[in-house]
Amino acid sequence: MNATLISNLRAQCDGPRDGALLRFALGQALLSAGDASAAALELQRAVDYDPKYSAAWKLLGKARLTNDDLAGARMAWQQGIEAAQGHGDKQAEKEMAVFLRRLPS
């Protein structure tokens, strides 16, 4: 099922429906399939399309953390907090603040 979903989402990339939501969905599917490296690339594309997409920043941080990229995760969550604050997404802001506090030094 997940492989089919990933294939279908990839088929839409670079087409008229390409954008932050498509790249977020693809990144989410890749992360759940265990491909954190590919997920991080797609989630980065999502925030490139829409830098205010706090959910994409949050998941990008998780993908980077899964790849043992602590600095990258920290940066994603810090930018995600700024994005969340910018449009009043208090829940995402709180979650990412917790993730930041739990990161090893």
The stretch 11-35 carries a mean pLDDT of 97
Burial bucket for residue 1 (CB in 10 Å: 0-12, 13-18, 19+): exposed
Count of residues making up the chain: 105
Instruction: Look up the CATH number of domain 2-102.
Output: 1.25.40.10
Does 1 score more than 80 pLDDT? no
Structural contact between residues 41 and 18, judged by C-beta atoms closer than 8 angstroms: no
User: What are the tens digits of pLDDT across the range 43-80?
Assistant: 999 999 999 999 999 999 999 999 999 999 999 999 99
Structural contact between residues 46 and 11, judged by C-beta atoms closer than 8 angstroms: no
Domain ranges within the chain, ordered by starting residue: 2-102
| Alpha carbon distance 21, 63 (integer Å) | 17
| Amino acid (1-letter code) at residue 100 | L
